[in-house]
Every structure is written in C-alpha cells, then in structure tokens.
Structure 1
Amino acid sequence: MRSDLAQPYGQDRLPRYTSYPTAPHFSPAIGEEDYRRWLKSISLQQPASMYLHVPFCRSMCWYCGCHSSVTKREDPIANYAAGLRTEAGLVAETIGQRLPISHIHFGGGTPTIMSPEMFADLVGALRYAYFVLPDAEIAVEIDPRTLTEQMTKALGYCGVNRASLGVQSFDPAVQRAINRMQSFEQTAASVARLRHLGIKRINFDLLYGLPLQTVDSCLDTVAKCIELRPDRFSVFGYAHVPSFKRHQRKIADDALPGSIKRHLQSETIAEALLDAGYVRIGLDHFALPDDNLAIARQDGRLKRNFQGYTDDSADTLIGLGASAIGRMPQGFIQNIVPTRDYLARIAEGRPAIAKGYRFTAEDRFRADIIERIMCDLAVDLSRISKVHGRDLKSAIVDRSRIERLIVDGAVTMIDDRLSISEGAEFLVRSVASAFDAHLASSAATHSRAV
C-alpha cells in the first residue's frame, strides 16, 4: 500500500461518485411536470429498480450522514408507510402500466423499524402496482440491535433475499463515542435468524476513521465479522461534516484519526479481507468470489449507484420516500427531505419532487468515464470518447492533477488508457475528480478523499 500518498491527497474534499453529476448540483428548476413526462416515457421493455427510504431510527448514531430522525412512537412510522404505499401507486398510475422491477432496496434510517404488518402491506402494495420479477433482488438495510424474530419472519415471507447489516465497529470505546452499543452476539444472532429463514445473502457495513478507532480495533472487528462469513462487505470512511449534520458535533474533532491513520485503518481492513478470500470491488466493497458483484467485476459489468457498487444494469431507478433520489434516462429526481412536507405533498396526489437534474451530452460522457474509473480502476479514454462522439483532448478537466498522480506513481497512462496503480486504489476518487466538470463549485460539501 502507498501510505506516502495519503497525506498529499487525503485532505481533498471529493464526492464518492455514486452519481454524476452529484447531488449538490440538483436544482428546483426540475419539478413535477418534468417528472411526470419522464415517467410516462419509461420503456416497459427493460426492468427498472426501486429504492424506498425509511427515515426513522430508535436512536441516533452520531456518525450518521443519512436523512433520518428518532422516534419511539409507532404512529409516525405507520403514517409514513401509508405515504410510501400511496406514492408507489401514484408513480405506477403515471407510468400507465405495470413496470417490471428487478431490484428493490429498502434504505434509511432503519427500514425494519416498521412493524411486520406494515412491511408486509408495503411489499404487497409494490407487488400489486408493479411487476416484481420472480428473480428480483429485494434488499433491506438492518440494525441488528432492533431486529425482532417476528420482523425476520416477515422479511422471509415478503421475499427479501438480501440483508445489509450495520456493524461499523465492535470496539466498545468506539461504540460509546458514536452512541451505538452493539455486541458481536447481537449481530451473530441476527445473521443466524436471517439465514434460518432463507435470507442467505448477507452484507456487512464497516466504518473506519471513527473517534478513538485504531488499527488494532479495526483488525479485531473484521476478524469477528469474518467468523460470520457474509457475502459482501462495504467499508466506508467516516465523513465528518458537522456543519451539515448537527448530531455529529457530539463527536470531538480531536478524537478523529488523521488522513494517514485513516488510510492505515482502511488498508488494514482490506488486507484482512483479501487474506480471508474476499475480492476487492472498486473503492470500498469486498465480496466472495462467487458473489454477483465479484462476477460482474470480472466480466466488466460492474455499475455504481446511490447504494454503492452493483450488478444492476437498469437505466431507471424509482425513488420513493422523503429525500429519495431516482434516476430516469433523462436525469435525476429527488424528493422533499422533511417527512411532514413529503407526506403533505403525497396526500394531495402530487409527486413529492423538490429538485432534480437534466443530463447533457457532456454529463453522459463524463459519467461514463467516472463510472469506469470507479468500477474498473481503469478507463479507455479513446474508446469512450468515440462512443460519445467527443473530443478526446477535452476529457481531462484537471490535467495538472493527472500529471501529478502520474509523477507520484499513482496512475499510468498508456495509449490513452488510464490505470490506477496497485497500492493506490484508495485514490480512485482523486483520479475520478480530474474528469469532473462540476467539482469546482461543490468541493466544500464533500468528505475527505482519505
């Protein structure tokens, strides 16, 4: 690993490039009528994907960067679930026919905060309004601390076949510092119940760069996780943005590791997972060799979306719920963030759109380049320029950055093919940013590169 590169590049504020352009460039200029037109133009010849955002938790984790809030009551959750069912129906009615769906992802927040009955009703409403394919992947994000046996049974009954469990760290000192006490035993019990009910595709989410976190505690956490043998790992760097997420102010800045320590934590986790037989997927995912992600990576079919890396090739993503982002062939759509405002708009029978973005030919060109860099750690600039009918010379926006990365040995450029060097994979966001024509106006809103 190239730890010498962590300091010079680690302080840069860069997107994670789960989309291009990124969310700071969405505008209220894209609204309800645009969304209606885009929905009506959807082709039914290809399946779409669906994301449902459930913005509630039982307690607030201080590291959280999601749109979520804490509730101890059931009424707000029931009202929100009813809103999701209504919005799903409104979107389907606008499309005009039952759209085939190949992937459904429940995110949050904590989707399993819904009662088993609420969740079953919601999935039933989706199956009624859309044609959920028999082999569709239905994934749910889970907090093992609150997953009940009855809810686990409901997940199995509803056809859920992938579960993503938040782990972050098993170090008690780190858990206290982030307000998330979660034992290994709780996590293992959740995994056992899920597998017993046939939900065998398991993802774990880990974080590095947390307060009081050390290389040794990262190693201990990943060793415990490997015992449970999930199919996939997502290993994210904690993004400390207290100016945007007020609860992050409870985390002391001086308790956070610097760029070099963050890098060491990240690479220590990566090496442990590789030694355990997992395959590295792009920037921050790892998968067993027979997992769909690993196969997609090998075949050159890997994609990137708002949940990270995926083998989902759908051009259309329907976003449902407060703050949810959808992707149409024409551009991005994002719903209103405040839950109350979202429900009020849905109750009026209107799309809950807050803003969006219409793609240009230039955006599609750059999105293609950036996705290949993020997924393959390499890109054939000549090929993509020809596909899009663009001038190869215009591809690189920040040529000085690329030249510096080449001098530092982080990337190579041979016959217009750019490749990230072994050991420098953690700089993939830095490489991708050199092709981002929008970055200059949004850098301050992003997290550190390392």
Structure 2
Amino acid sequence: MSAHALLAKYAAPVPRYTSYPTAPHFHSGVNCGKYAQWLCELKVGSKISLYLHIPYCDRLCWFCACHTKHTLRYEPIATYLQALYLEIDRVGSLVGARASVSAVHFGGGSPTMLTPEDMQAVMQRLRRAFHFAGNVEISVEMDPNDLDDQRYDGLASMGLTRASLGIQDFEPKVQASINRIQTFEQTRAAIEAVRARGVQSVNCDLLYGLPYQTLDTLEKTVNQVLSLNPDRLALFGYAHVPWMKKHQTMIPESALPDAVQRFEQMRLAGDMLMAAGYRPIGIDHFAKPEDSMAKADAEGRLKRNFQGYTVDTADALIGLGASSISQLPQGYVQNIAATGEYQRSVEESGLAAQRGIELSAEDRVRARAIESIMCDFRLSFADLRRLHPGKAEAVIEEAIDFASTNEDNLCRIEEDCLVVTEQGRPLARVIAAVFDTYLANGKARHSIAV
C-alpha cells in the first residue's frame, strides 16, 4: 500500500503518548493529600527533575496548545511568582533530603518574560528548597522577542545549560497567520547570545502542517535553521484542536494542508535534517550524533515524558506551577490550570494538585509497551516479561495478534520482538494505541496521527 493510501486509512486522531494513561483520564481522586503522601514516599537516594511552568506570554500565538494567558503587565507575573515560591517551599519540605535534583526545565508560556532579578530569585529558591546534584542540566524555553542583554545575563547567572527556541517557520505569511512574528535575524542573534555566554546546547522547534505552509517555504526554513547549527531539533506536526484552544479558531482552516500534504512536509524536512547529518530520534526529534540524546537513542536509553523525548533518568519528575504535571513512581498528578485558583490553593496549603491517576500493575506494563514503541520502534517481549513478571503475557498476545492480522506491514514479529517497519514508523502513535485500553472508553479528542 502506498504511503498516501496508508495515511488515508490510519491518520485518525490518537494521543501523542507523552504519558500512559494519558491526561484526559486523570481524575479528582488524586488530590493534594495523595500528592503529599507520594512525595513523602520517595526513596532515599532518588533523583528528581523539576519542571516550572510560567503561564504568561506577552503575545498569544494562535497555534499554541499550552496552558498560558496573555499579559502586557508584569504585575500578574510577580504575583504568580509569590505563589510559585510557596509551592516550591512546600514540595521541597515534603521531599526533604531524600532526593537530589538532576535537571530543571522552565516552560510556558514564556519563561523569558521574567526579569533577570526574578530569574535568579527562582533559582535561589529552588536551591534552598531542594538538594541539587553536582551537574544539573538547566534548560529554558526562550522567545527571542522577550530577550535583551540583561535577560541573557540573567539566564547565564541561573546556570543555563540548554536553550530551547521555538521557531515554527520563518515564512512571513505563515508567521502572520499564526500570530508568531519572529525573524531569522532575531533567532540567530538569540542563539549567538546564549552561546557567547557559555551555553553548549541549543534546541530548535519546527512545525509542519501550518496554514499557508508549502514544501518550498518549509525547505527555505529548514535551510535557514540548519545554518544556525542547532544541536537538536524537534519537528512537530501542528495539532489543530480548536475545541480545546479557542484561540486556534483565529487560524484559517481552509489554509491548512491536508493529511497528504502534512506527510510530504514531514518527509521533506526529515530527509533534509538527516542529509545534514542529524540522527532521527523517535517520531519527531533529530540530534547531532555526538549529542546526548543521539547517544541515548543508539544505546536504547531514550525516554519519553510530558516534555517529549528525553535522556532524563530521574526517578520522578516534579511539576511546579499552574497546570504542571508530576510523574512519580506511584502515578501522575496535575496542578490546577487556572492561575487564580492555583494561587489560592497554594496560599492555603502549599500545594495545588487537582487531579491525577494512580498506576495499576496493568497500567505499568502497558506504559512500558507504549514507551518502547514510541522511543525504540520495537517491543522486546523478554524485557517486558523481566520487568513485569506475570503481567506481560496479555500485552504480548495483543502485539502478536496485531502483527499477524495487520495487512499493511506496519510491524512484524522478529526474534521475540514486535518490530515497527520503516513503513510503519510514521504511524507509531497508531501502533502504540493498540495497547491503550483507556482510549475506546474516553471522551477526549486528539490531533491526527501524522
């Protein structure tokens, strides 16, 4: 079957599988009390990574599906930070000295809206509340429109090690249609500024499937990005979900490429990145061969969490701030998304957990199967039995059944493994969904698979 025919057959909405079970299945049974208990149960010697959500932007990009709000005043951010400090202190007191921080990631929204003084204040608060390991990776999502020399210096004083820049597309017509004006020159200046201050790793995000995007405009954008010499790139398909994010209704749907055009854009950009020497990572990442993510992928150590593909080996990911999600050994916890309600909850109890899910034994084995498909394009039955003795057989049977009955050569059984074929790799999310027992019973709507 041709690639286009496969798309027509399989490009249905499915989750991105940055967790399993996925967030639509979280429930209110996991609250602040349960979250506090789970934090106290972290084992001595655990490694943790921290994610801090800054839910403010000084412009609202219409393509964005993140939890954020528009503001041109700094007062709401300053008020929010006071609540964030309370949560940092409370979570740090519950974790205690049992765990050490190995990574910190600032996301948003636009973390680079923070003043240099507040950037330093947040890091000082984190270091007082938590025990930091020797070499901590500190990464920040950056908007070049926010940045000046003082903020670059502030980022450097925080100990920034990885800069992440959302580019999306450099074509002016495309940028105007998504309300994301960011020139190539601005982006180049931002990368040069962080590198001049000692930052060794730069990640760039690109989008395909945007309004008015064509193969020609995308090719030009990719060539411009390659001239910036980033260490990693993420190539995401635009997720058009206006039923979730009302501002996406500002995007002209008639200008969006169809499923076949999206696939051709994905293939063009991916081929260009690989021709330039980048190693493909999972379904949507690329990295230089010497990058830690490329090495982890080559050695079978790649992981996937709410931040996407990662080399993070921490035992727990702790989310701080409105809407942030924590991934603990016991399960997932999500904070209140509305900033006002988040602030009131933290002021009352120091925590803002609103919902989550406790993992069952079956959830764990299926999560492992899905992560293996998404990261490695293969599922080792021996590994599954070793990690989940007595629980793996049902999933293995489902894998064998899918491989033997699928007529489109998406995957096959090889040496006690389910192996995704080259033809099936663009549809890895579809294959992962085979193991998702929640999907059929959920009411959530998802973006298309390619």
Is the contact made by 2:404 and 2:412 (CA closer than 8 Å) also made in structure 1? no
Aligned to 2:193: 193
Show CA shifts across 1:140-175 (max 9, x none).
Answer: 001112222111111111101001001000011110
Query: In the aligned structure 2, how far is the partner of 1:229 from the partner of 1:396?
Result: 45
Instruction: Tell me the residue number matched to 1:8.
Output: 9
Partner of 2:363: 363
Cα distance in 2 between the residues matched to 1:442 and 1:27:
12
1:314 maps to 314
> Tell me, what secondary structure is at the counterpart of 1:235?
strand
The amino acid of 1:86's aligned partner reads: L
For the aligned residue pairs, the C-alpha RMSD in angstroms reads 1.6
Tell me the percent identity: 43
Q: Does 1:352 align with 2:352?
A: yes
Match of 2:17 in 1: 17
1:353-372 per-position Cα deviation (integer Å, ceiling 9, x unaligned):
11010000000000111111
Does the CA-based 8 Å contact 1:57-1:69 persist in structure 2? yes
Alignment correspondent of 1:114: 114
Using a 3 Å threshold, how does the CA distance of structure 1 residues 146 and 352 change in structure 2: closer, same or farther?
A: same
Report if the CA contact (8 A) 2:384-2:392 is conserved.
no
2:281 aligned partner: 281
Instruction: Tell me what 1:324 maps to.
Output: 324
The 2-side partners of 1:323 and 1:254 are apart by 32
Residue of structure 1 equivalent to 2:422: 422
CA distance, structure 2, for counterparts of residue 234 and residue 130 of structure 1: 30
User: Which residue identity is paired with 1:414?
Assistant: E
CA contact (8 A) 1:14 1:443 kept: no
Correspondence list, 1:57-136, <5 A: 57-97=57-97, 99-136=99-136
User: Where do 5+ consecutive residues of structure 1 fail to align?
Assistant: none
Q: Which moved more, 1:93-102 or 1:267-276?
A: 93-102
Superposed, which structure 2 residues align to 1:244-263 within 5 Å? 244-263=244-263
Q: Secondary structure at the match of 1:295?
A: helix
Structure 1 residues 178-187 or 394-403, which shifts more?
394-403
- Deviation (angstroms), 1:84: 1.4
CA contact (8 A) 1:395 1:435 kept: no
Instruction: Please say if 1:413 is aligned against 2:426.
Output: no
Instruction: Give the Å deviation of 1:349.
Output: 2.9
Q: Which runs of 5+ in 2 are unaligned?
A: none
- For 1:96 and 1:387, the matched residues in 2 are separated by 29
Q: C-alpha deviations, 1:184-220, integer Å up to 9, x for none?
A: 0000000000000011210001111111111111111
Distance 1:400 1:237 in 2: 30
- Which residue number in structure 1 is paired with residue 41 of structure 2? 41
Residue matched to 1:226 = 226
Mapped contact 1:336–1:353 kept (Cα < 8 A): yes
Question: In 2, distance between residues paired with 1:64 and 1:399?
Answer: 38
**1:80 Cα deviation after fit:** 1.1
Residues 225-254 of structure 1, C-alpha deviations (whole Å, 9 max, x = no match)? 000110000111111111110000011221
Question: 1:142: which partner in 2?
Answer: 142
Q: 2: CA distance between counterparts of 1:278 and 1:91?
A: 39
Contact 1:396 1:434 (C-alpha < 8 Å) held by counterparts: no
More divergent stretch after superposition (190-199 vs 348-357): 348-357
CA contact (8 A) 1:368 1:384 kept: yes
One-letter amino acid matched to 2:364: R
Is residue 96–residue 130 contact of structure 2 (8 Å, CA) maintained in 1? no
Q: 1:396 to 1:30 in 2, by over 3 A?
A: farther
- Alpha-carbon contact 1:30-1:358 (below 8 Å) kept: yes
The Cα shift of 1:397 comes to 5.1
For the residues of structure 1 that align with 2:227 and 2:423, how far apart are their CA atoms? 26
* Count of residues in correspondence between the two structures: 448
Distance 1:69 1:398 in 2: 42
Partner of 2:440: 440
Moved more, 93-102 or 106-115: 93-102
Q: Distance in 1 between matches of 2:55 and 2:314?
A: 25
Find the residue that maps to 2:283 and give its secondary structure.
coil
Quick one: structure 1 residues 369 and 315, their matched pair in 2 at CA, closer, same or farther if it must change by over 3 Å? Answer: same
Matches of 2:8 and 2:92 in 1, distance apart? 49
Q: 1:165 & 1:13 partners in 2: Cα distance?
A: 27
The separation in 2 between residues aligned to 1:398 and 1:431, in whole angstroms, is 9
* Partner SS, residue 177 of structure 2: helix
| TM-score, normalised with respect to structure 2 | 0.96
SS in 1 for 2:236: strand
Cα offset, 1:335, TM superposition: 0.2
Q: 1:327 to 1:391 in 2, by over 3 A?
A: closer
Q: Provide TM-score, normalisation by structure 1.
A: 0.96
**SS of 1:96 mapped into structure 2:** helix
Quote the Cα distance in structure 1 between the aligned partners of 2:21 and 2:392.
20
1:120 corresponds to which letter in structure 2?
Q
CA contact (8 A) 1:402 1:431 kept: no
Shift of 1:400: 7.2
Asked if 2 retains the 8 angstrom alpha-carbon contact of 1:92 and 1:98, the reply is no
3-state SS, counterpart of residue 337 of structure 1: coil
1:319-369: CA deviations, max 9, x gaps? 100000001100000000000010111111331011010000000000111
SS in 1 for 2:151: helix
1:376-409: CA deviation from partner (whole Å, max 9, x where unpaired): 11111343034312252444558876456x4212
Moved over 4 A (4+): 396-404
Partners of 1:266 and 1:153 in 2: how far apart?
36
**What secondary structure is seen at the aligned counterpart in 2 of 1:29?**
coil
Whichever residue aligns with residue 348 of structure 2, its letter is E
Residues 278 and 399 of structure 1, relative CA distance in 2, 3 Å threshold: same
Specify the alignment match of 1:56 in structure 2. Answer: 56
User: Is the 2:365–2:392 Cα contact (8 Å) retained in structure 1?
Assistant: no
**Aligned 1:376-391 pairs, distance under 5 A:** 376-389=376-389, 390-391=391-392
Letter in 2 for 1:163: A
Distance 2:407 2:394 in 1: 20
